[in-house]
Homo-oligomer: A and B are copies of this chain.
Amino acid sequence: MSHNSFGHMFRFTTWGESHGPALGVVVDGCPPDLPFDLALVQRELDRRRPGQSKYTTQRKEPDQVKVLSGVFEDDRTDGLRTTGTPISLIIENVDQRSKDYSEIRDKYRPGHADYTYDQKYGIRDYRGGGRSSARETAARVAAGAVARQVLSGVTIRASLVQVGPHKIDYANFDWDQVDQNDFFCADAKAAEQWAPYLDGLRKSGNSVGAVIEVVAEGVPAGWGAPIYGKLSADLASAMMSINAVKAVEIGAGFEAASLTGVENADEMRAGQLAPYFKSNNAGGILGGISNGDPVVCRFAVKPTSSILTPRETVTTDNRNTDIVTKGRHDPCVGIRAVPIGEAMMACVLADHFLRHRGQTGRDGPTGFEV
């Protein structure tokens, strides 16, 4: 048991507070002798990095990652390679401005973990939310970038599909659009409409929630495990562990409740080499095990709790008061949750890839007569 670790065979442990000297992650169990691309890790961190548009917090963190262990290079390895030992990645905190947070020492911010940390631990690093800050997600993104390097043949992408009440139109869905707008949104038209909407919210000192869809293509049939090791259960845990997430669904998700059995069960047809499914209500997972179709997961992020509108709250000694969270915050934390969701998907899949290989001795499915 480890509150700050995730995964089993591909297992990472994160540490660090929002306003401490640094944060980091230790990735244990990575397969050995893989090319290790530190630039790829940095690229993923840059996607999550704050301050890149007016829709995300203006905190200026370069989020420069350093690798301290677990990789090796000599004249025979042609670049860095993993050694199979723990990969320690560290990111220094630079722009901390601790004085911004002095007020929250004595008041609980509604929607934040201030009150619950105090109730659990009897002590709380209140500077920027301490351990409960979304800065922790940088460490996840770094772990996810390592996981991607383990998953050859698997493509993991995500898109913001809803901001507040405004959903995308799947008819416009185009993965190539995701990096063309400030919202990681695959629907260019929706992104255009969201811009003034979010601008308005930001100016009025308000915020809004969002829904992210993460899709993994190229996952072979057979990953996952029955019962409590279900791929879907681990994805649910992974996404729900992200800050501010309140809901997770796989495939048809909550919509499946409204479907009949005739509508819902994905019918199968014989393919050239293997069967295929006529639809993907299952989201690529049946009985907790991947079926070869894209793995589809959506999760909802609540609106940023740090807002400029005054809210009623109490002091740490239980007296009524109001609070305005100044600091520097995202009007929609859901935006930056896009690369984070991808990272968690990658980590879950890397873990299940290794678990599957360990138990069965195969990388993929048992296969048809191929």
Segment 157-215 of A: residues with Cβ below 8 Å from B:
162-165, 201, 206-211
> In whole angstroms, what is the CA distance A303 to B262 when docked?
9
Cβ of A105 < 8 Å from any Cβ of B?
Answer: yes
Contact B120 A314 (CB under 8 A): no
Contact A286 B116 (CB under 8 A): yes
> In whole angstroms, what is the CA distance A15 to B74 when docked?
20
| A361-B31 contact, Cβ under 8 Å, with A208-B259, A302-B264, A303-B264 | yes
> In whole angstroms, what is the CA distance A22 to B68 when docked?
6
Number of copies: 4
Contact A122 B260 (CB under 8 A): no
Contact A201 B287 (CB under 8 A): no
Contact A358 B366 (CB under 8 A): no
Residues of chain B lying within 8 A (CB to CB) of residue A153 = none
Cβ of A84 < 8 Å from any Cβ of B?
Answer: yes
Segment 63-116 of A: residues with Cβ below 8 Å from B:
66, 68-70, 72, 74, 77, 81-88, 105, 108, 110-113, 115-116
- Stretch of A38-46, A52-60, A268-276 with 4 or more beta carbons under 8 angstroms from chain B: A268-276
Cβ of A283 < 8 Å from any Cβ of B?
Answer: yes
Report the minimal beta-carbon distance from A259 to chain B, rounded to whole angstroms. Answer: 6
Contact A28 B3 (CB under 8 A): yes
Residues of chain B lying within 8 A (CB to CB) of residue A17 = 69-70, 85
Cβ of A124 < 8 Å from any Cβ of B?
Answer: yes
| A267-B110 contact, Cβ under 8 Å, with A121-B84, A206-B260, A247-B248 | yes
A119 is contacted by which of B1, B120, B271, B366 (Cβ under 8 Å)? Answer: B366
Report the minimal beta-carbon distance from A77 to chain B, rounded to whole angstroms. Answer: 7
Cβ of A51 < 8 Å from any Cβ of B?
Answer: no
Determine which residue in A16, A263, A314 has the highest number of CB atoms from chain B within 10 A of its CB, and name it: A314
> In whole angstroms, what is the CA distance A365 to B115 when docked?
10
Report the minimal beta-carbon distance from A219 to chain B, rounded to whole angstroms. Answer: 11
Contact A241 B230 (CB under 8 A): yes
| Residue interface mask A319-345, B partner, CB < 8 A = 1 | 110000000000000100000000000
Segment 1-39 of A: residues with Cβ below 8 Å from B:
1-6, 8-9, 11, 13-17, 20-24, 26, 28-33
Q: Which 8 A-B pairs have the closest CB atoms?
A: A113-B287, A358-B358, A111-B265, A247-B249, A207-B261, A3-B229, A116-B289, A32-B121
A selection of 25 A-B contacts at a CB cut-off of 8 Å is A5-B5, A8-B8, A15-B26, A15-B86, A23-B68, A26-B26, A30-B359, A72-B130, A81-B123, A116-B289, A116-B290, A118-B366, A206-B260, A207-B260, A227-B241, A235-B240, A237-B240, A241-B288, A246-B253, A257-B302, A263-B303, A268-B313, A275-B314, A275-B318, A361-B363
